[in-house]
A and B are shown apart, each in its own frame.
Chain A
């Protein structure tokens, strides 16, 4: 019921506006449930290759996960030792 309401609302808005990007972004013009973002007038749908491209370094982007994986590994070794010896060693 709620899904249907969204679909009808979206369709009606599309017809009234003649397209998703004509109207100012108010967050109600959904492509699908939970995906209602639209580019603001004058801004691109995708920023890659535009003047807004932050040109992220893949190496930098992966550093957080690497750090977490390494911490998990060290913690697991501490826990294993704790279970074995009954003494927590950091």
Chain B
């Protein structure tokens, strides 16, 4: 262990030295500034979260609450791939970049003539990757790096088989391709890469196969690994800064990545981070969540299981953690803590302006932290039906659990809320800085849970619990509907400005615009627009297939467009995708969404809308025509 420890530090040191040298040559700051400029320009949607803060907020108002009813299809694109289409396309400098689930194809589309595929990248992958994907073969999207004088602008993608690949944004040519996960031991990649400065940050997937989570940074120019840190294990592996949690020592500090596990269970302890990232350039810190401990059977892993289920605040250059707050110590319900991190600048209840981070967790609590210190500012139930926890003590940071809803061997726990799928899952939500409201797309699901023992074999499923999910108390459990909600949340007061029930989970997240409209997709295949002030339904359109990705918007040639991926799948739709009928199959999802197949079927593509359906083709009928 000591040798490994020294070796890793030495690797980090070397990598940092190289990285610094390259940065000086290539102008890291310039590339980062350019990325910020692109984020602020409404002609682009340059990253999955819209901006480093992950606001999903656009200042565009051409489409607004008064005219959104006039939205019509402008154009569409079929990816030719089935299965769940999570994430959203990117738009940069007049080009749309579209991704797909496995086999992880990528397309570049010319927005002047969307019928023109400028390039495509179709990787050859080991089909065995599909067998170790826990919940359909999804992918959450692409990242973009704007280039500098030495290296061209690049699209960055992850592949289910574990590769991270950079492509020349203009040509689609592979720049570099590295191995970041090995499917033979259950490691996969479903998370979107995240780019800041000259680093590609990549998460990990596979906790349902006992994969120990890790976060890795690669130099965008060369593909060289800058650093890698783990969710569990010795501090030297987890990457804790000297001042780790010094502002909040009650969260725990050193040595807990091993001492809160029995023996070597941390080596197969999960904590993969397949969700979303945010970055504060002023603090040079990035934020993400580590996921559930493995296996799901809590009896097999005594201890708090640090640092799974943790909100991390890490330094971008070194990856070292300044703070870590574990939301669900010793998880008993698979409340994987990987969900979206949204950054805001707001006055707290005492009127003090603070840099905040808001995170709607799977466990049914929406947390707001001071993102500089990790201080807990608020922690409220996103729905009052969450019952595993009575409340979160803001002084200690501890959830006060209700033992009635605990899980353990030899016992079937009933009516636990939320279900393993969470009251919120991978959806990328939005924050309106003018209204100071977070728009949350939610699940309303509860469950029965019964653990069982199983051995660990690398590369095989390592779950250890049977789960039956179903709509929560506010839904229609008998008929299997009423499993979704949309809410507008004030993180300072803890109040909900409005809330609406939905037929199915809102799996993909929301987008909000200055036009006062909240957009989101539904599993049964609608894209909807609601009034940001009161939640009134203003417009909807039936897509070719269910939506589990998030909407995005951009302006091209003076016209504002709204786009969304369609393609039902992902965890909620595994029953539909793989034709399963046992209600406990699909890790408990099949029963919860048994009605979904009556509303939609598989498909895959992008649908783009504008007012009155204006597009390059309506503006000029000759676009895309054969010319003599």
Contacts and interface: CB of A to CB of B under 8 A. Distances in A.
B402 A52 contact: no
Interface stretch (B56-64, B245-253, B433-441, B606-614): B245-253
A12 interface: no
Interface residues of B, number: 67
B351 interface: no
16 contacts: A27-B400, A28-B398, A33-B252, A34-B304, A39-B302, A40-B403, A43-B408, A44-B302, A45-B302, A54-B453, A56-B265, A60-B268, A68-B214, A71-B178, A75-B178, A88-B223
Given A2-B250, A61-B268, A62-B267, A54 B185 contact: no
A26 B396 CA distance: 14
Interface stretch (B254-262, B500-508, B552-560): B254-262
A27 B329 contact: yes
A6 B396 contact: yes
Interface of A: 2-3, 5-6, 9, 24-28, 30, 32-37, 39-40, 43-48, 52, 54-58, 60-65, 67-68, 71-72, 74-76, 78-79, 82-83, 88, 90
A13 B400 CA distance: 13
A26 B409 CA distance: 17
Given A33-B249, A54-B455, A68-B214, A26 B401 contact: yes
B406 interface: yes
B329 A37 contact: yes
A79 B228 CA distance: 16
A35 B224 contact: no
A79 B224 contact: yes
A9 B11 CA distance: 43
Contacts, number: 162
- Name the residue among A24, A27, A33, A35 with the largest chain B CB count within 10 angstroms: A27
A25 B406 contact: yes
A60 B395 contact: no
Given A25-B403, A58-B264, A63-B458, A36 B329 contact: yes
Interface in B157-175: 174-175
B178 A28 contact: no
Interface string B428-472: 000000000000000000000000011111110000000000000
B176 A35 contact: no
Contacts of A62: 267
B74 interface: no
Interface in B203-248: 210-212, 214, 222-225, 228, 248
A28 B400 contact: yes
Interface of B: 11, 174-182, 184-187, 210-212, 214, 222-225, 228, 248-253, 256, 259-260, 262-265, 267-268, 299-300, 302-306, 326, 329-330, 393, 395-396, 398-403, 406, 408-409, 453-459
Contacts of B456: 54, 56-57, 60-61
A5 B248 CA distance: 13
A34 B223 contact: no
Given A43-B299, A90-B177, A3 B400 contact: no
Contacts of A72: 11, 225, 228
A25 B396 contact: no
Contacts of B210: 64
B256 A35 contact: yes
Nearest to B252: A34
B311 to A, nearest CB: 14
Contacts of A64: 182, 185-187, 210-212, 267-268, 458
A10 B327 CA distance: 19
A13 to B, nearest CB: 11
B260 A37 contact: yes
Contact of B176 (A27, A71, A82): A82
Contacts of B455: 54-57
Contact of B223 (A30, A58, A79): A79
Given A33-B250, A52-B300, A64-B268, A27 B187 contact: no
